[in-house]
Structure 1
Amino acid sequence: MPALSPTMTEGNIASWRVKEGDSFVAGDVLLEIETDKAQMDVEAQDDGILAKIIQGDGSKAVQVGTRIAVTAEPGDDLASLEIPTEDTSASPKKEAPKEQPRQESATAPKSEGSGSSSKPAFSSGAPKASAGKARKQTYPLYPSVQHLMKEAGLPKEEADKIPATGPNGRLLKGDVLAYIGKIQESYASEVAERLKKLSHLDLSNIKVAAPKEKAPAKATPEVKEAPAAIEEPPVELALSISLKAVYDCQKRVQESIGVFLPVSTFIARATELANDNLPRSQVLKPSADELFNAVLGLDKVAGKSSRGSFVPHVTALPPISLRATPAPKKSDILDLLVGKKPATAKSSPLSSTPKVIGPVNELSISVPKGDERRGRVFLERMKIMLEAEPGRLVV
């Protein structure tokens, strides 16, 4: 039975994972052992064969060091294998410290207390030989130490007489077990010394590595840098538009309800409507929502349109005047042969009056190269709403 913890004295065999006659390799789980604290697996340290199981499944209170099975080397013949007898000469020595407190408890008077018969009383006389020294415990003891002393029937004052091997003279559970004879006296000090050695990292064998020689740089051919991409300037689109219908609508609104709407309000509302459902841009990269819709196939359902962000620039143009000129009178061939001069057309006073077209403005926007169609659609919508349907912009 292996000792799976420093304080383990016995354990229960829950189940064997390997049967008699089965082979195993290092790292295989041989059996499961249960203690009062946990259930752990026991792994094989070397390759071998399980020759015989001595302590089967469900064995209880198997002492540490007791033979529980016999293993053989790989390739051994189990039929001719002789199982050696278990050496029990060491068992009385281990149990000798346990017999002493029993004898002392038997000689103690029975009238010391009603509960003294159920718990073994251990001697608090001469302390066991240990590497630690007995010190006065001025701070609270570890819970494991308090529990073990309570089970052993030791008073709290006895903790000052137990040799302590813990840090700063603290009493450990192993010190109490060694004091009452559950484990060897030197076990606690050996574990403390081993932990002390492992707590310091040995750097005596570490040497500074020699610097690596730099490999000669290989001649690499010169890589010509690619010329930087030249950004193409945006394209300016313009469209002439008459605001006569807007002025007429503005006048009607003011006369009917007494509210004056500036021309900028008409242009802002027309811009908001004209930017809606424009053809999709051919220059801008698709957004995350558009890519997600394309993966789901929703781009075909939604159509190839998107909202624009054009802001037109309005420029006033001088009014255009048209003067009506009479058409030239055709000359007769006979008058030319006779030498008669053709009569000049007289200008009427009405024809000399110039005809003035209403206020003309120019709408212009800047679009990226390749999005000219998207910009023209926007300007055409603006022209239709401001010239033909300005009443829509009032509501």
Structure 2
Amino acid sequence: MPALSPTMTEGNIATWKVKEGDSFAAGDVLLEIETDKASMDVEAQDDGILMKIMQGDGSKGVQVGVRIGVIAEPGDDISQLEIPADEKPAREAKKKTAAEEEEPKQATSSEQTGAQRQPRKSGEKAPPQKYPLYPSVAHLIKENGLDESAISEMTPTGPAGRLLKGDVLAYLGTVSPNRPEEIMKRFNHNAHLDLSNIKIAANQVAPKKTGKAATDEAPIVEERLVSLPVSLAAVIEAQTKVENTLGTFIPLSTFLERAAAVANDVLPLPSNYKPTTDELFNQVLGLDNVSPKASRGQYLPQIAALSPSTLTGVAPKPKAKVDIIDFLASSTKKTTPNLRKIPIRPGVSTGNNFFSLTVPKDEEKRAKVFLQRMKTVLESKPGNLIL
């Protein structure tokens, strides 16, 4: 059982990630160990084969240093190998015998506490410590009554030469003197991200789908043509009145653009509209009925001129025939009215016009409201658009 922290004395085996007889490489996770503070993965330091699991999944209270598994070298035939005897029980028995041979010494509680806190003195000066010390380190030093000379003998293994709790415990003899250095090497090894075995994947071209699969991925949006006849007679009248009164000519396009802006304001929502998070929150609070649900549109209609016969169903009057002799003799006099010709955009009539929109099926009702508003604005009071 490895010690995953300087103060760890025992742990629980949550689960083995490698089974008996499986090979593993350096860096692979062998098992997951749980302590009273955290759950951590144990990685393999070298390649090998898991020969035998001594402490299975769910083992509780396994002491640090107790054998939990046996590992063989890569390429070994584990069927021909024998599991070596566990040396820890023999070492513990030897220590126990040596302790029994020593003459027991009676001491007071204060003397026993002092013996437990007897620091390990190496006699060598460590590199200069970096201050301030970590709060946990300063508390541990003060708790054990250590002075500045003792701190100068401790070897720091933390980042940027900082002193850690493990370094103090190693100096006091609570943990193995080499334990902080071993932990530092393992952390440095795990902190390095090895990208040498990563290869850039080749670009994969997705196969073209045909038939039903292609139809499902790209659904066809059903569109509707919404149209409405609109008369521009009132617009022409307002345009002429402004020009005669103020001497300013306002193009017909200005009337149409401003009418579209007015008609696009506060339109009803499409049938497939999805509410935002703010709107859903207002529904929970019951505030969705305070203001009507609407949004601004972005519609621009297509305009085409319509002949009177298209609207009324009455055939146009035939043109009067002109005698060729009179035409060549210039007997027919032309009378030109003394009126300024009003420029009209190509395809737009001074009378009835055909306003249309091509929209998705879900926006058909919304588009009809827009066209009806344009019709109302242009036919009722178009002068308000420029005043």
User: What TM bracket, shorter-length normalisation?
Assistant: 0.3 to 0.5
More helix, by proportion: 2
Q: Normalization by structure 2: what TM-score?
A: 0.43
| Larger gyration radius, structure 1 or structure 2 | 1
